[in-house]
Structure 1
């Protein structure tokens, strides 16, 4: 892989240099369009141009993560859901985009990209081809060139003889070696330069975090209220109803115990069966609130127990060196439970894989199935509920589910692990 990395970086540098040139017309058109906003024309041309600028920036974010492992977050404010149509809606959209600080940072990045971005990308490409040129001069290629145009300079070497052609070849090999070393560095420098302008500032990141925490707080309150209603409903329809029936049966037994002992015994047996069923329902209810295996054995054993209850085989891999905080463990457990249940019900899978590990301050969970694919995250769906549950802890959920499968659901929750808590 390392042997292929430098030539790939060289070729990618050439592609990035062309992308950087695209920033020139984009920048000119966007700035001219914004200048025309006061006369009305820019109101209609600015939004599509800003979207094009954002598409250019998003492509650079994607390439940064894919090619150099540089993560650049998108700081754009979500467009309002209740936008109006017509001219009024266009004016509001234009004003919204121009009020977004990320728009102006993107325009500033275009100016940097067309100059510094272009140079770093071009340099990532140029050393190796230039070195190849010098290395082939020694094969006699210099003769027709010098014969047609006189002395040919390669770097600082004037080539007018075979001896100097050999010196140029040595210099060319040096350029190739330098290029193979510098190309990945220059490519990463290009993306780090882009990150300085495209990544949200601390103020923007803080505002986004406050907005996210506000939304997830409301979601957490709604989820808690729904959970309390579910517990109340389960108690009313299950254990409470059985306990009321038991009380009525015992009252009847009290009246019949002297008159009809046989019937009283039957009623007592039925009351005992009802008490056992009520106890079982209460245990199930408590297990749904906080499973005992989670509290006693930790998240790893709890998800293994979940996997054993699935109707298809689930291969579980757990790499945890300690215990997360109880709320985090509980959120992760119920998220895994929901994802496994969804896959079992809707994916048509024959097998599933569950990977759970902690790395770089993140609890990472991946659930994969070999089902039909096509899974999507919707606000009212099970995965939407999982996303809201994780959002309470600043966690994220990502779904990759092409039609035909496989489906992979990835979850991440920032947390630290403590030493395993004693079990008894």
Structure 2
């Protein structure tokens, strides 16, 4: 096969080797992503606008019937999903890094709980507003970008950047979480689960202690007294011996019940406050403990209880695991926070993942907006700081 090379005539343009590279190759990938976002704005805004208008019109029009509000609630949940898609598009094409709003709380109050949480959802309503104002903006950005591709190519990167900056502002303003509020709601939802699990574990522990401890002793006591009653006339000495054994069982059962009650909420804490209650804990520790409490008033009972059990758990760790010769407990108030610091001169190496119950303490404090910090280098000393919100007793609801 022969190849024919035609000479260029006077009206022909330059050859391929003489042509400059296409201008489009000068655009970086970021600019192309922005252009793609602007071109997709029109179909995305049409879909969102049609959905929102249909949902609002149907829900509002049928509000007088039993199906209107449920339809509106379902529509708002759908708007949430459209907002999620728009955030994903902004992440992929605009490089916008924003957090997802907190999910709607899972309510166990049936249909009306679901309905109310959906209708008052701020994330869904902001997504509705976003889709309503996006249609004219989507038409404008699509038109300007399309014209610029063929007419204003040299300044297209600047046009794309300016238009997408407006898009970024709209997504941040209407589709991002409401500052710290929604993030805090998500944290509290998680913390509520921790509290529920902890309370359930405590109830199981109390039930087990009652069943295996005091209840078993009381059953043996009843059986022993029954046998003593039968032998009272025929063998008084044996009956007296059985009564003496029963008396010992009563003492042990009472001691176990006192220990169990102390584990629920000690009377000394209710009657005399943290100073006396922490001194009582320190007196049972196997190493000398110095307690310093600087509190002019008392916090709420719930906060006192958490502080008491935190120190109790930490001093048990000192006794069992630290190898310390001395320890100290300091409690004071700073502004609206209750501070607790437990020190020991033991071997150190403690941590929240060390299997000594500290992870549970950190979860309990976190559930009430508290902090738990462990500073325990190998070789010691160990300094553990717990911080709790100060809540005044007079603000607690009456019981």
Q: In which range does the TM-score fall when normalised by the shorter chain? A: 0.5 to 0.7
Q: Spell out the pairing of 1:374-393 with structure 2 (5 A cutoff).
A: 374-378=349-353, 381-393=356-368
Which residue of the partner structure matches residue 238 of structure 1?
A: 213
Show structure 1 runs of 4+ deviating over 4 A.
Answer: 32-38
Which residue of the other structure, out of 359, 362, 370, is the alignment partner of 1:395?
A: 370
Give the aligned partner of residue 208 of structure 1.
183
Pick the structure with more helix per residue. Answer: 1
Cα distance in 2, alignment partners of residues 408 and 233 from structure 1: 33
**Structure 1 residues 379 and 327: CA distance shift in structure 2, 3 A:** farther
Q: CA deviation at 1:241?
A: 0.7
What is the aligned counterpart of 1:297 among 260, 267, 272?
272
Partners of 2:193 and 2:317 in 1: how far apart? 24
5+ residue gaps, structure 1: 1-31, 39-90, 104-200, 420-424
- Aligned residues: CA RMSD: 2.9
Contact in 2 for aligned 1:249/1:268 (Cα 8 Å): yes
Closer/same/farther in 2, CA of residues 35 and 235 from structure 1, 3 Å limit: farther
Unaligned runs of 5+ residues in structure 2 are: 1-27, 35-87, 101-175, 395-399
User: Cα deviation per residue 1:69-96 (whole Å; 9 max; x = unaligned)?
Assistant: xxxxxxxxxxxxxxxxxxxxxx9xx97x
Q: 2:354 and 2:31 mapped to 1: Cα distance?
A: 40
- Aligned to 1:264, what secondary structure does the other structure show? helix
CA offsets per residue over residues 28-80 of structure 1, 9 Å max, x none?
xxxx8977989xxxxxxxxxxxxxxxxxxxxxxxxxxxxxxxxxxxxxxxxxx
- In the superposition, the TM-score normalised over structure 2's length comes to 0.55
Displacement of 1:359 = 1.1
- Match for residue 329 of structure 1 among 290, 294, 304: 304
Q: Is the 8 A contact 1:396 1:411 kept in 2?
A: yes
Separation (CA, whole Å) in 1 of partners of 2:271 and 2:193: 30
| Inter-partner Cα distance in structure 2 for 1:401 and 1:33 | 50
Q: Secondary structure at the match of 1:410?
A: strand
- 2: CA distance, partners of 1:255 / 1:355: 58
Alignment partner, residue 276 of structure 1: 251
| Contact 1:365–1:412 (Cα < 8 Å) also in 2 | yes
CA distance in 1, matches of 2:286, 2:31: 63
Counterpart for residue 406 of structure 1:
381
- Determine if contact 1:321/1:417 at 8 Å carries over to the other structure: no
- The separation in 1 between residues aligned to 2:307 and 2:316, in whole angstroms, is 14
| Residue 263 of structure 1 pairs with residue 238 of structure 2 | yes
Partner deviation per Cα, 1:343-394 (whole Å, 9 max, x = no partner): 2222222221211001110001111122222211129641111111112211
On the 8 A contact 2:343/2:382 being kept in 1, the answer is yes
What is the TM-score when the length of structure 1 is the normalising length?
A: 0.51
Partner SS state of residue 101, structure 1: coil
> In the alignment, which residue of structure 1 is the partner of 2:193?
218
> Which one of 322, 333, 346 corresponds to residue 358 of structure 1?
333
The secondary structure found in structure 1 opposite 2:340 is: strand
Aligned mates of 1:280, 1:34 — CA distance in 2: 74
Residue in 1 that maps onto 2:284: 309
Which structure: larger Rg?
Answer: 2
Aligned length: 237
**Residues 89-133 of structure 1, C-alpha deviation per residue, up to 9 Å, x if partnerless?**
xx9xx97xx664279xxxxxxxxxxxxxxxxxxxxxxxxxxxxxx
Cα distance, 1:317–1:205 mapped onto 2, change above 3 Å: same
| Equivalent residues of 1:299, 1:333 under 8 A apart | yes
The DSSP-based 3-state class of the residue aligned with 2:178 is helix
CA contact (8 A) 2:348 2:382 kept: yes
Flag the 1:303–1:34 CA change in 2: closer, same or farther, 3 A: farther
1:416, distance to aligned residue in structure 2 (A): 3.2
Equivalent residue in structure 2 for 1:254, among 212, 229, 233:
229
Q: Is the 8 A contact 2:346 2:382 kept in 1?
A: yes
